[in-house]
Amino acid sequence: MNREYTFFWGCTIQAKFPFMEKATRLVLDRLNIKHKDIDSFTCCPEKSLIKNIDENLFDLTGIRNIALAEKQNADIISVCTGCYSNLKQIRNKVASDLPYQKKINETLEKINLNFSGETSVYHFIEHLHDEVGLDKIRANVKYPLKGLNIAIHYGCHLVRPSHSINFDSPFEPRKYDNILKALGANVVQYKNKMMCCGQALDRVDEHDKSLVMARIKLDAVNESGADIITTVCPSCFTQFDTNQYMLLKEGVKRQIPVITLEELMCLAFGIEEAEELISQHKIKAGKFLEKFKKIKAVTDYTTIFDKDSLVRCYNCGACKNDCPMSLSFESYNPPLVIKMILENDIERAMSSKIVWECLECHTCVELCPQNYSWEKVLTTLKNLALKNDVGPQKVKKAGELFFKTLRLGDPQEGMRKKLGLPPAKKVLDNEFKRILDENIL
């Protein structure tokens, strides 16, 4: 019988950060990951609190949660690293100690449950990386996070203790990195990457020390040049979002937004709700989102270009044989830029000198057998380039002059007078200028 999956959300996500659950569910839907929700899950339970009160209570509570999933023939996937670590350690401990397992089952029988060890516990990253696969993740990326510098905080409980978790290397893990790279992001390495964030200190009334550790970590991320830090742990998120907000009130000036993996996946997949979810964080990610929007504007070629026409254009290549630039300069190769667009490398395409060296002589317009001229592609690329501050300075300055004066040069009145010409008419259409300001500038 095939096993199903159930998601264990834990306490913190549903109590404090429901946007994390929403982002995860959106990703699940997009990747078509089938799962079911199970009633009656309790706290995992939290290790630093419950285990220190009573270890047997800690084990029994965790095994009860796992037994609920086992009764439904389901494996558990956790989004919370703390829940993942606690449930997996408890499961492995009880499954490997048969006398202890028997003792726990005697208690579980009273509530019609049983633990046999059939149910496995996974973290969502583990499932994405090992089961869903990087290829499927890449295939769902609509807006690659190319050019975005992202620092990862794995969190202690995702990778340690490795003898029980067996998730990845405890000090040089790669799975989170690999998923971000599949999304197109630039993963930034930084000092103290695998150091604990210190959030557990808040649970024992040591808030000031918790803030010190948060600052150490955030300073290292800021020094790395990262645009944001990402984590999948709600406790670590608390440290980097809520506690960073407190640090800002104390005079810390530079802030670093924290965005979860699932939220980044929503952005990359083109899921509309992504920005609304991120807006609920205390540390606002405005600059990061503006940077993403610029990338988004030049990567969504499917809404800018007709892909089928581009493919035909690339395979044809007739324009290279007739173009005066191609005939004069061997380096002028229009199909090369078409190929860049088809590979979704719009940034490279619009930065290419080939785009700006077109003479706009309209030869390709007249001769194109596809009725989709190279000139049409160039006009679109030039438009994108100038909107993203790319292109020759002369073109930029000419544009600035036009928007300012509605001309590309002032009339030479002295020469006109010498030639017996009347003074040139002045541009007095302020209404047209206002329309340009409102709709184009």
In terms of domains, do 278 and 162 share one?
yes
Q: Is the domain of 111 the same as that of 8?
A: yes
The closest alpha carbon to 107, from 73, 57, 53, belongs to 57
Q: Does the pLDDT of residue 288 top 80, yes or no?
A: yes
User: What per-residue string of b and e applies to 88-108 under the rule 16 or more CB within 10 Å gives b?
Assistant: bbbbbebbeeeeebeebbeeb
Q: Are residues 151 and 211 in the same domain?
A: yes
- Co-location of 56 and 107 in the same domain: yes
Q: 84 and 176 share a domain?
A: no
Share of the chain above pLDDT 70, in %: 96
Q: What angle do CA 151, 154, 155 make, to 5 degrees?
A: 125
pLDDT at residue 82 tops 60 = yes
What is the SS3 assignment for 433? helix
Mean of pLDDT values over 280-290: 97
Domain boundary among 126, 152, 181: 126
Query: How many domains are contained in the chain?
Result: 4
Q: Which of 70, 73, 179, 172 is nearest to 123 (CA)?
A: 179
Check pLDDT > 80 for residue 372: no
* pLDDT value at residue 311: 85
| Residue 100 shares a structural domain with residue 56 | yes
Give every strand in the sheet of 121-123, ordered side by side. Answer: 4-8, 74-78, 121-123
Mean pLDDT in residue range 279-299: 89
If one compares 409 and 152, the residue with the highest pLDDT of the two is 152
Q: What percent of the chain has pLDDT over 90?
A: 66
Q: What is the pLDDT of residues 178-237, one digit of tens each?
A: 999 999 999 999 999 999 999 999 999 999 999 999 999 999 999 999 999 999 999 999
Q: What average pLDDT does this structure show over 98-118? A: 97
Last residue of a domain, one of 256, 282, 299: 299
Characterize 217-244 residue by residue with b for buried, 16 or more Cβ atoms within 10 angstroms of its Cβ, and e for exposed. bbbbbbebebbbbbbbbbbbbbbbbbbb
Beta carbons of 9 and 37 less than 8 angstroms apart: no
pLDDT > 80? residue 373:
no
Same domain for 283 and 198, yes or no, is yes
Dmax (CA) for the chain in angstroms is 112
Phi and psi at residue 152, in whole multiples of 5°? -105, 135
Which residue in 233, 141, 228 sits closest to 179, CA to CA? 141
Residue 189 burial by Cβ neighbours in a 10 Å radius (0-12, 13-18, 19+): exposed
- Please check the confidence at residue 240 and state whether its pLDDT lies above 90: yes
- In the predicted structure, residue 137 carries a pLDDT above the cut 80: yes
CATH number reported for the structural domain that contains residue 236 in this entry? 3.40.50.11810
Residue 252: pLDDT band (50, 70, 90) is confident
Look at residue 386 in the predicted model and tell me its pLDDT. 84
pLDDT at 391 over 90: no
Q: Are residues 314 and 421 in the same domain?
A: no
Same domain, 382 and 401: no
Total residue length of the chain: 441
Do 118 and 164 fall into the same domain? no
CA distances from 256 to 10, 198, 245 (A): 26, 17, 10
pLDDT band at 441 (very low <50, low <70, confident <90, very high): very low
Average pLDDT over residues 233-255: 92
pLDDT tens digits, one per residue of 146-188: 899 999 999 999 999 999 999 999 999 999 999 999 999 999 9
Residue 367: is its pLDDT beyond 70? yes
Instruction: Tell me how far apart the terminal alpha carbons of the chain are, to the nearest angstrom.
Output: 62
| Boundaries of domain holding 59 | 4-126
Return d(Cα 372, Cα 45) in angstroms, integer.
63
Question: What is the Cα–Cα distance from 89 to 47, expressed in whole angstroms?
Answer: 10
Same domain, 34 and 182: no
CATH number at residue 19: 1.20.1050.140
Q: How many CB atoms lie within 10 A of CB 138?
A: 14
Contact by Cβ (8 Å): 141, 268:
yes
Average pLDDT of span 280-300: 88
pLDDT the model gives residue 438: 62
The number of helix segments (H) and strand segments (E) in the chain equals 28, 6
Place of tokens 């989004």: 79
Identify which of 201, 193, 251 has the alpha carbon closest to the alpha carbon of residue 218: 193
Last residue of a domain, one of 78, 96, 126: 126
Q: What is the pLDDT of residue 397?
A: 86
Cα distances from 288 to residues 171, 224, 318, in angstroms, run 28, 15, 42
368: pLDDT confidence band, cut at 50, 70 and 90? Answer: confident
Give pLDDT tens digits for 9-42: 999 999 999 999 999 999 999 999 999 999 999 9
Q: Is pLDDT at 245 greater than 80 in this prediction?
A: yes
- pLDDT at residue 175, as a whole number: 98
What would the mean pLDDT of 361-382 be, rounded to a whole number? 84
Tens-place pLDDT, residues 333-360: 988 998 888 877 878 888 899 999 999 8
What average pLDDT is seen over the chain?
A: 91
